[in-house]
Structure 1
Amino acid sequence: MTIVPLVKVNLVGILDDKEKVLEAAQVFGTLHLIALTSAQKELEAVPAGLGREAVEALRWLMDCQAQRRPVTEPDDFHLEEVVDRTLKNRKALKDCQDLLAKLDRRIQDVEPWGDFSFSELEEIGHNRLWFYVVPHSKLKAVDTSDKVLEVVHQDRYRSYVVLLSPEEPAVNAMPVPRTHVGSASLSQLKRAYEKAAIDLEELELERQSLTKWRYILARNLAAARDLSARQRAALETADSERIFMLQAWARRDQVAEIQELSAKLGIAAVFEDLSEEDRPPTLLENAKALEAGEDLVEFYQTPGYRDWDPSSVVYVSFIIFFGMIMTDAGYGLLLLALLFLFRKRFTGSELGRRMFRMFAWLMVSTTAFGVATGSYFGVSPPEGSFLAHLKVLHLKDVDTMMKITLTIGVVHIVLANLLRAFHEKTPSGRYQPVGWSLVALGGLATFLGQGTLFATAGPVSIIVGLLTVGFFGSDRKVESVKSGGLRLFDGLAALARIVNIFSDVLSYMRLFALGLAAASLAETINSLSGQLNHAVPGIGLLIALLVLSIGHAINIGLGVIAGFVHGLRLNVIEFFNWGLKDEGKPFRPFKKEETRL
């Protein structure tokens, strides 16, 4: 596990060659670009680029139910034109669907009034028509003595009343607010609906026709996104007259390769060592078997460049914690079989392959802890059997399981402190973690070693640890009474974390609690299904099998969620809290995307 050393590189060339240099840097694929100019307005003008538009276009075509035979030879294919036509089709089709829904609603509203058109005002004495939908219960409340009105339609619940008046009647003239019918007649609305329906069919046919480009469009997605990335990168270089400069972070061990690349491109490459003010990104590098640990770490927090890489520790401990929470051999083997059946879904990318390896180990861990606790879909092996001899942990033995989980918590937190102390450079940075390690180990020795020498050594270790933490509370130099008082205050403030270490160690008891809950729920499901089988002869067997299937499926789902949430939480909250000092930003190489066919 390591954080790769970086160096700052400046590539300087002629402005006319910038596109060529950017494309070469993208092919090189290991430079983390540094923005030299603020081009926010320009970036907002092209935030998505053709890459995202191409993704949206492909998704629109793939969602089409009627697919045409795909074109495989790109002779007549023009990416920009196909993407533009597809997105216009999507917008027009959605607008047409919205129009149809609006017209359908208008037709339903107007239909009870009949098919009519408004006459000219002169023809009806400058009177206007006002429309009201009156519930039958309120119809008697209408005063007809001073109104010219007509009930034009009635249904089971309402009467449709038209009132003739030159001005809008007062609000209290009718028992209900007036209804807005609109100026279009029913026949006009129906004609507009028919035209929109025909237009929708034409647009759907156009969409079907465009689906023939889906295969080639998928092949060109990476190229489209690469072009978009280069356009954005070109806005953040430093340009002056005919010269441009591209600045980036690069691996220190690739300096020779970058010099060779710059010579080939005919540009200058200037390298700078890191200064104290620099905040470079963090590039993690681990063995292939432990690479998934980098994804777990960066999921929550990337360590600072001058910190250390916790990927391998997090990876191993997460696998152990997940197995302890699931703790059922039957669940582990079932999920491992499903993972094997769907293994091809993980082979399309490097990330997928890393996840496949990690998921496999998670299931192996679940199976191993299930064997150790003697749980197979909630069923314990018979006494005297081979599997019963492999049962070495008893989840219902509360005292033993508490001791095991607390020991795991102390070891995990002590490991975090010792690794932090090893990578620190200042006295306080080195000795404070050592002091907290002594406190944690002393507390564990006091708890576990009751009646032994450890019970005496434990408090001594705690006192020595607290004195170490207090003495090395900061690196402030004592040069006066004031600075001495501040140094004492720093020590007391550092000692306040004793509450944190106590609560963090106790947090690891969730491993036992969740494992016991999962095992107890599995036993309850089995017991309930057995009772149903005996209570209802015949069909009870089917009900019992249904309860077993649904119940264990729910328990597996809850176990997987708990394993991920709490297994990661103990690493990224408790472990990171004691092990990492700075939060950094991940190294994002400027590179071409992986092409998947």
Structure 2
Amino acid sequence: MSIAPVIRLTLFGPTHAKDATLLQAQELGCLHIEPLDRREDVVADRPQARRALAFLLASPVRRHAAHSAERFDAEAVEAAALRIEARLRALDEEKRTLIKRLRVLAPWGDYPLDPDLLARGLRLWFYVLPHWRLAQMPEYLTAWKVVAHDQRNCWVAVVHPDEPHDMPVPREHTGSVALHALQHRLHDLDAEHDDLLAERIALTRWCDALAHSLTRLEDQAERKRAAGLTREVDGLFALSAWAPAAALPDLQAMAGRIGLAMVTHRAPPAELPPTWLDNSGIARSGQNLLGIFLTPGYRSWDPSTWVLVSFVVFFGMVMADAGYALVMLFVLLALRLRRRPAAGEAPGAAGVWPLAWLLAASTGAWGLGTGTWFGSALPASHPMAALRLLDGTDFRLMMRLSLLIGVLHLTLASLAQARLARGWSRIAAAGWSAVLAGGGLAGFSIDQGWGDGLRWTGQSLLGAGLLAALTAAVMQGRGLGGRAAALLAGLMRLPAALGDTLSYLRLFALGFAGASLATAFNDLARQTLHGVPGFGVLLAGLLLLLGHTLNLVLGIAGGLVHGLRLNFIEFLNWSGVEEGRPFKPFKLKDAPPWMHRSR
């Protein structure tokens, strides 16, 4: 199991030592800080330096970079850029609203409120009426005028003490601000907008200096956020966090240097600690894959290695072409030679590269096993034809192989769940693993001359496993109604098991589709070569290049999507992996976490 054990700790110390504590804890990089004081203005704060830099870099006009950073204040530049960005966004929003208001008020013209009308208790009311409704104006309204019109409507202004309630249409809400005042406000917004753009252009001289200060600014922002998660009372502060149990000596040494008190305890059963997956080497690629979908619970198990192995196998089975594998290896090698290691990257850090090499190798292995090179089978006389173990065009064989892989995958998942479960839950998981294995054996024994014994074994496993699983489900229910519902749920899982197993036929379907498409492009190129004299060679080459490029891209997309789907949906559904929350180490931006540095 690669889930590192963690402990809960609380650090206590004088308030003046809080900054030093946070700085050294960030350098150590092994704490997952839990909030003690939720001040939303601090907790919601996140590093904004990259956003400020992106805003300045997006300026259409930029100044020459400053050669000296003596007058450069990174915090001030960041704050100014974010202030300008926020104000520009607010100005644009207000300007859009003003333009809409001006468009509505334009037909009425500029009608300031007349003090004489107000003194006599009169008001202006505005209506937009179709031409044919003018005849429906109430007779008691004598002070009204059509101030504008078009082919369909008339804009009518009415003078009356109260709002007329028998008008043929509802009144228009024009607001209390006159047209000229809105126009003046729009001009003010434009002027302020120009001033802000000029200020933004002036700040662009510090883009290079700000880029070099990103890491420091983000570390400072992270410490500010962490400070908001602590609690201060009477000159003392407290910091609560989770940490790997192996990091306890380093934390005790840090507390001794600063003069802090530290209290530690194990997590109670009712509390869910964050999960720190402690995988190293190539297994970290599986951890990264699993992180796309979920983080396993702290008291669950880590399926990272299983997900990695099965995903690589599934991807290779979908591609299954040695020629495509060579192309993938060539592209990966070219990209790898051009790539520079990232700052702070740990040696052997598992990113996309180890996984990419494995996927290319799996594609090549399946391609050699089926004897397929760019959609064509090697002739029997070719020396590498001896490596061919499977006939990729044999429907029956490849379908059975896909179902066999599905049965093994789901059975292993159910056995892993049984290993960690307790009581009746363990019996239920073991029963379903027997159901899956027995159903697979019974199914594969059909139409086999030697399948009588295999069929009997499979049917026995299927029956015994189903009995055990349903019995365990009934025993876990409460009361007669609860046990009946549990029995029904168990029976409903039987067709789900069949459906999940049949889902692995997508491996056969995708592989066959890719092989058929490659063969079709080969045949089309061959016909073009023989049917078009002169330019046939060029056209055939273009068809092969474009066709196989398209097929390679589609195959990679299908292998990635469906290879992950079979792991995330089918496998994790039967494995009993509970979802947890990730361990987020409080660390320096470009430094690896403590667990990876300690190796």
TM-score (norm 1): 0.77
- The 1:92/1:527 distance shift into structure 2, 3 A limit, reads farther
1:20 and 2:20 matched: yes
Distance in structure 2 (CA, Å) of the matches to 1:105 and 1:539:
61
Aligned residues: 580
Map of 1:288-437 to 2, 5 A cutoff? 288-343=281-336, 344-345=338-339, 347-348=341-342, 350=345, 354-377=351-374, 379-381=375-377, 383-384=379-380, 386=382, 389=385, 390-421=387-418, 423-424=419-420, 426-437=422-433
Distance in structure 2 (CA, Å) of the matches to 1:8 and 1:515:
49
1:5 and 2:2 matched: no
> Which residue number in structure 1 is paired with residue 561 of structure 2?
565
Distance in structure 2 (CA, Å) of the matches to 1:500 and 1:442:
15
Distance in structure 2 (CA, Å) of the matches to 1:238 and 1:406:
57
1:83 and 2:78 matched: yes
> Which residue number in structure 2 is paired with residue 275 of structure 1?
268
After superposing the two structures, state which structure 1 stretch, 578-587 or 104-113, moved more: 104-113
Distance in structure 2 (CA, Å) of the matches to 1:92 and 1:265:
43
SS in 2 for 1:582: coil
Q: CA deviation at 1:311?
A: 0.6
1:45 and 2:41 matched: yes
Q: Is the 8 A contact 2:442 2:458 kept in 1?
A: no
Q: Is the 8 A contact 2:473 2:487 kept in 1?
A: no
Q: Deviations over 1:413-463 (max 9, x none)?
A: 222223333x42524344433333333222222233344554334343443
Distance in structure 2 (CA, Å) of the matches to 1:536 and 1:179:
72
Match of residue 54, structure 2, among 53, 56, 59:
59
- The 1:236/1:59 distance shift into structure 2, 3 A limit, reads same
Q: CA deviation at 1:370?
A: 3.1
After superposing the two structures, state which structure 1 stretch, 101-110 or 71-80, moved more: 101-110
SS in 2 for 1:497: helix
Q: Is the 8 A contact 1:72 1:215 kept in 2?
A: no
After superposing the two structures, state which structure 1 stretch, 334-343 or 392-401, moved more: 334-343
After superposing the two structures, state which structure 1 stretch, 61-70 or 394-403, moved more: 61-70
After superposing the two structures, state which structure 1 stretch, 265-274 or 488-497, moved more: 488-497
> Which residue number in structure 1 is paired with residue 596 of structure 2?
none
Q: Is the 8 A contact 1:395 1:512 kept in 2?
A: no
> Which residue number in structure 2 is paired with residue 141 of structure 1?
none
Distance in structure 1 (CA, Å) of the matches to 2:432 and 2:223:
49
- The 1:53/1:263 distance shift into structure 2, 3 A limit, reads same
> Which residue number in structure 1 is paired with residue 122 of structure 2?
none
Distance in structure 2 (CA, Å) of the matches to 1:5 and 1:540:
66
1:439 and 2:454 matched: no
Q: Deviations over 1:529-563 (max 9, x none)?
A: 55567777677777666655554444333323222
Q: Is the 8 A contact 1:25 1:591 kept in 2?
A: yes
- The 1:72/1:324 distance shift into structure 2, 3 A limit, reads farther
- The 1:191/1:330 distance shift into structure 2, 3 A limit, reads farther
Distance in structure 2 (CA, Å) of the matches to 1:285 and 1:531:
56
Q: Specify the code of the residue in structure 1 equivalent to 2:82.
A: L
Match of residue 516, structure 1, among 499, 512, 518:
512
Q: Specify the code of the residue in structure 1 equivalent to 2:21.
A: V
- The 1:97/1:453 distance shift into structure 2, 3 A limit, reads same
Distance in structure 1 (CA, Å) of the matches to 2:268 and 2:449:
53
SS in 1 for 2:315: helix
Q: CA deviation at 1:566?
A: 1.0
Q: CA deviation at 1:305?
A: 1.4
- The 1:112/1:573 distance shift into structure 2, 3 A limit, reads closer
Distance in structure 2 (CA, Å) of the matches to 1:104 and 1:495:
64
SS in 2 for 1:586: coil
Distance in structure 1 (CA, Å) of the matches to 2:154 and 2:541:
58
Q: Is the 8 A contact 1:442 1:460 kept in 2?
A: yes
- The 1:81/1:527 distance shift into structure 2, 3 A limit, reads same
Q: CA deviation at 1:27?
A: 1.6
1:259 and 2:255 matched: no
Distance in structure 2 (CA, Å) of the matches to 1:109 and 1:483:
68
Q: Is the 8 A contact 1:262 1:268 kept in 2?
A: yes
- The 1:458/1:13 distance shift into structure 2, 3 A limit, reads farther
Q: CA deviation at 1:313?
A: 1.0
SS in 2 for 1:247: strand
Distance in structure 2 (CA, Å) of the matches to 1:476 and 1:507:
25
- The 1:370/1:113 distance shift into structure 2, 3 A limit, reads farther
Distance in structure 1 (CA, Å) of the matches to 2:67 and 2:490:
67
SS in 2 for 1:584: coil
Q: CA deviation at 1:133?
A: 13
Return 5+ residue gaps in structure 2 as ranges: 118-124, 133-147, 593-599
SS in 2 for 1:590: coil
Match of residue 583, structure 2, among 584, 587, 594:
587
TM-score (norm 2): 0.76
SS in 1 for 2:13: strand
SS in 2 for 1:87: helix
Q: Deviations over 1:227-275 (max 9, x none)?
A: 3333333333344323332222211122222111111110112221233
Q: CA deviation at 1:11?
A: 1.4
After superposing the two structures, state which structure 1 stretch, 4-13 or 517-526, moved more: 517-526
- The CA RMSD measured in Å over matched residues stands at 5.1
